[in-house]
Amino acid sequence: MIRKGNTERMMSGSRVDREIKLNHGYEGPHRDRQVEIAVQLFEAMGIERDDKARRQDWVMRGFRQFDAPVSIVITVDKALEHDTIAHFDCGAATYGLVLAACSKGLGSVINGQGIMQSQVVREHANIPEDQVIMTCVAMGFPDESFVANDVRSRRSPNDAAASFVGFD
């Protein structure tokens, strides 16, 4: 029901209704990386730039949880909604969940698209009103033949995000 509700609302032109608000779109190198991975994915799947139908279908896959059999909704207590460390904790717990799933042979995608219609998610997953929907994780056994699963995004070097002091 979440897949159907998300898809219907997005296709009808409903505005994005996510509980965790974005300040703005990606800019600079972050936007460049977003475009770069999209190009890699479309090339791998043979989707031409002017093929709007197939590009739209790819976007809708995200709203359908990539057609995975399981979607895990990550929430935080509303009392902690504006507490940055609570957001970090949710991210750390989500990462641990994804690593544990991988160790069992499951594939997963941390999927912000899946919560862009938060009311649909809240209704169908019975999320109580005292919880804020942070993100979701699409999970299932990976389709090894699906070419998009072979695409790897470029990573920034560790020293671009971390400083190591005292490790001489």
| pLDDT tens per residue, range 78-99 | 999 888 899 999 999 999 999 9
CATH topology of domain 2-150: NADH Oxidase (3.40.109)
Cα torsion 30, 33, 38, 41 to 10°: value is -140
Residue/partner pairs of 14-17 with CB below 8 Å, 24 or more apart: 14/117, 16/116, 16/117, 17/116, 17/117, 17/118, 17/119
Which residue has better confidence, 30 or 137?
Answer: 137
**Per-residue model confidence (pLDDT) at position 72:** 96
pLDDT at 133 over 70: yes
pLDDT score of 107 more than 90: yes
- Please report where in the chains the tokens 């994915």 appear, as a residue: 41
pTM, two decimal places: 0.81
Map out the domains of the chain as residue ranges. 2-150
Assign 17 to helix, strand or coil: strand
Reported confidence tier of residue 23, pLDDT bands at 50, 70, 90: low
Type and span of the H or E element at 139: strand 131-140
pLDDT at 39: 93
11-20, 50-59, 144-153: least confidently modelled range: 11-20
Name the more confident of 3 and 106: 106
As a whole number, mean pLDDT of residues 16-39 equals 83
